[in-house]
Amino acid sequence: MHSHGHRCHSLRKWADLLVVRKWRKTVICLLSVAVLLSVVQFGLWSLKPASTPPLTAQHDKIMEEKAEELSCGGEAKLLRDPAPLWKQMETDDKLMEKAHHWRWIRQRLTQAWASWKTAAKWLQKAHPYRMTNRTMQQVLIVPGVMLATDFAKADSVTGGGPLGDLVQWADLIAGLYMLGHNVTIMKDIYQVARGLRYSRFMWSPRKGCPLKDFDIIFADIIAMKTFPNDIVDAYSCKFRVLDAYGTQVMFNHPIYALEHNYQSSYGHLGLNLQQFYTFYPHTQDNTFLGFAVELPKLVSKTVEKKERIGLLYGKDPSYFKKHKLYIHQLMEWMEVHVTVANITTLPAGIINHGILSTDDYRKLLSRAKFFIGMGLPLESTGVIEAIAHGCIFLNPKFKGPQQDILQQLGKPTLRKMTSQVPYVERFMGPPHVYTVDIDDTQAVAATLKTASNTFTNRFVRFEFSTEGFLERLNSLVDRQHFCEKEEDAADHKQEKKGRHNILHTWLRLSAMKVFLGSENTSCSDTCTANGLMCEPSFFHQFNKRSVFKRQNIDCVDQQKEADIYFPAVSRKDSICTLQKESALFSCAGAHPSWQRLCACRTFVPEQVALCHRCY
C-alpha cells in the first residue's frame, strides 16, 4: 500500500496545510480515475483449486514494494480473537445516549462471529496466493452517522429506525478486523479532527521504522461534512466514504456542480468517485461495498413450511398509508403482518407485532411467504435478509417522475430508480423477486396468482454472503489506492490540484474492452448492453487520440473538452473529442449529440465488483 503517497502530503507539506483553506475558492480539479481491482477468481468458479499468481510485468516491482512495506508495516493475519474489538466498542458514560449503537453492532457481530470465521477460512483456501504477504493496514473508523447526529436515537434503533447504515458499519468493522488490519474506532468526531490536525496519531509499527499514521480512513458524508476543510484536503486520498446511494460526477465536482447548478447538500466533495462506497452495485463510478447476510440455519431437518403470511417491508407507518388499496388487495390472498410501533394509522385486519428483537424478527421472516415492498425504504438491507429467509419479495415498479426519487430526496445523483430495489430487479427476478406496479390491480392479481404457486428456498447471492463480502473487502483494501506516488503521476501533473486523487490501477490492459456507444447512451448502459461493466480506472489508458483510429472512426477534427460526456464522437460532423479533465470522466453521462467511447471490463458472476483474470 502506498501509505505515504505524496499526494496525501508528507508531514512537512502537511504542516503548511494547517491553515484552513476555503476549498471552493481554491482551484480544484480533482479526481479522475478509479479502479476497481480485480481478481483472479478461480477458487469458486472453476475447478482449479487455487488462485494463480499475477502475470503482469509490474509483478516484480510490486512484490519488491510489498516486501518493503511488509517489513515495516507488519503482516495482516487472518482470524483473530474478537475480544479486543469488543473492548473498543465499549462506551463511557458521557456518550451513553450513543452507546446503544455499539451494543447493537456488537450483538450483531457476536451472533455472526462463527460465520465470519468460516468465511475467513474459506478465503484462505480459495485464494492462498492473495492471502499471504498482506501488509497490515492502519485503519481509522469514523461513523459520522452514529457520532454527529441523532438520526439513530436510542428509541429509533430499538424502535425500528433505519438500521441499514449500522449493518454496513458493523460488517465493515468485522471484515477489516477479520482480515487482520489494525482497526481504530473513534467515537468523537472532534477528537478525530484535532488528532489529525495536530498529528496526534503517529506511531512506529516497529522499532527503527518511520513514524506513520492511518493508511485508510472510513467515514461517511456526515463525517466528511463535519471535518474542517483542511483535514479533508490533507487526508483526501485516504478517505473512503460510506454513501448508501452513491454519487455522480456532476454533483461531486465542485466547479462543475456550481456552473451547471447541480445542488445537493451532500455533494461537492471532489473526491475520486471510487472513494464512495455504496450498499448495492449500481453506478460503476462508485465502489460497491455492500454488507453481509448469513444464510439462516434450518430449525428442523425438514424444510420449513411457509405460512400464507405477507410481511410489509418497513417500520414507518407513513410508508403504508399511501397504499391502502394495495394492502386490501393483498389481504384477499394472505394474512398481512407488520412490525411497527404504532398501528393506529393502518387499515384494520393487519397483524402488528410491534418492534421485534432480531431473533424474533428472523423467526417471523422464516414463517412469511412474502416480503412486500411499499416503495420505501429504498435499497436498504432488509430485502436481502428476507430473501435469505426464503421470502418472495414483491418489489414495487417505479414509473415516470417517481423514478427521480433520489433527486427528490436531495441525493447527489441523477440515477433513475426503476423500482424500490433495482438490484434485485436486475440481478434476481423470479422466483425470489417479482417487480410489479402496485397501483395496477390487474398486474398485482396476476403476480400474486403466479407467486402464490411458487416455492422458494433460502437464498443469498454470493456477493452478499459473508464470504463474498470478505473477498471483496480484501481486494479493495489490498488493491485500491488513491495516494499515488510521485513518479507514477508525472503524466498527469497539471491535474494535481485540489482533492484530485488518482486511483492506481492494477488491472491488466488486456482486460480493457473499448466500445463506441449509441448517441444519448451512458457508458454504464453501453457496457451493460455488451454484458460488461463500465471501468473508470482505464480512463488514462484510453483517453488518447489513437483510440478513435482503433475504433475505425474517421475524425474530421479532433479537440479536447471538459465535460462529463468525453471522450466521444459526434456523428453529425465527425468531430472527435477527448476528455480534457480526467476528474470529469464518468460512467453515467449521456448526451443526444454524442456517441461516447467507453472502456468496459468483465465481471465475476455474483461478484460484480471484481473481474475475471484481470491481473
Ligand X SMILES: *[C@@H]1O[C@H](CO)[C@@H](O)[C@H](O)[C@H]1NC(C)=O
User: SS3 of 438, please?
Assistant: coil
Q: Which three cell numbers stand for residue 501?
A: 486523487
Binding mask 117-136 for ligand X (x = CB under 6 A): ------------x--xx---
Does 208 sit near ligand X (CB under 6 A)? no
CB of 133 to ligand X, least distance (A): 4
Cβ neighbours around 547 below 10 Å, total: 18
CA–CA distance, 196 with 222 (Å, rounded to integer): 17
CB of 184 to ligand X, least distance (A): 4
Cβ neighbours around 557 below 10 Å, total: 10
Among 82, 159, 205, 605, binds ligand X (CB under 6 A): 205
Stretch that binds ligand X, among 235-243, 339-347, 434-442, 453-461 (CB under 6 A): 339-347
Binding mask 582-601 for ligand X (x = CB under 6 A): ----------x---------
CB of 205 to ligand X, least distance (A): 4
Stretch that binds ligand X, among 342-350, 480-488, 541-549, 555-563 (CB under 6 A): 342-350
Q: Which three cell numbers stand for residue 185?
A: 474506532
In the complex with ligand X, the residue whose CB is nearer, 316 or 439, is 316
In the complex with ligand X, the residue whose CB is nearer, 66 or 580, is 66
CB of 193 to ligand X, least distance (A): 16
Please, is 546 exposed, middle or buried when counting C-beta atoms within 10 Å of its C-beta (0-12, 13-18, 19+)?
A: exposed
Among 41, 168, 182, 522, binds ligand X (CB under 6 A): 182
The closest of 400, 324, 393, 334 to 365, measured between CA atoms, is 393
In the complex with ligand X, the residue whose CB is nearer, 296 or 317, is 317
In the complex with ligand X, the residue whose CB is nearer, 285 or 495, is 285
Does 400 sit near ligand X (CB under 6 A)? no
Site for ligand X in 564-583 (CB under 6 A): none
In the complex with ligand X, the residue whose CB is nearer, 65 or 304, is 65
CB of 186 to ligand X, least distance (A): 9
Binding mask 17-56 for ligand X (x = CB under 6 A): ----------------------------------------
CB of 206 to ligand X, least distance (A): 8
CA–CA distance, 154 with 140 (Å, rounded to integer): 24
Q: Are 581 and 564 in contact (CB under 8 A)?
A: no
Q: Is the previous residue joined to 377 through a cis bond, with omega within 30 degrees of 0?
A: yes
CA–CA distance, 402 with 72 (Å, rounded to integer): 53
The closest of 354, 361, 350 to 323, measured between CA atoms, is 350
Cβ neighbours around 418 below 10 Å, total: 16
CB of 105 to ligand X, least distance (A): 18
Q: Which three cell numbers stand for residue 525?
A: 448502459
CA dihedral over 246, 250, 254, 259, signed as positive or negative: negative
Does 520 sit near ligand X (CB under 6 A)? yes
Does 342 sit near ligand X (CB under 6 A)? yes
Does 67 sit near ligand X (CB under 6 A)? yes
Among 203, 209, 360, 449, binds ligand X (CB under 6 A): 203
CA–CA distance, 589 with 577 (Å, rounded to integer): 15
CB of 447 to ligand X, least distance (A): 26
Does 184 sit near ligand X (CB under 6 A)? yes
Three-class secondary structure assignment of 249-318:
HHHHCHHHHHHCCCCCCCCCCCCCHHHEEECCCCCCCCEECCCCCCCCCCCCCCCCCCEEEEEECCCCHH
Answer left, alpha or beta for residue 569, where phi above 0 means left and psi between -120 and 50 means alpha. beta
In the complex with ligand X, the residue whose CB is nearer, 128 or 429, is 128
Site for ligand X in 132-171 (CB under 6 A): 132-133, 138
Q: Which three cell numbers stand for residue 304?
A: 420449513
Site for ligand X, rule CB under 6 A: 67, 74, 129, 132-133, 138, 182, 184, 203, 205, 342, 344-345, 520, 592
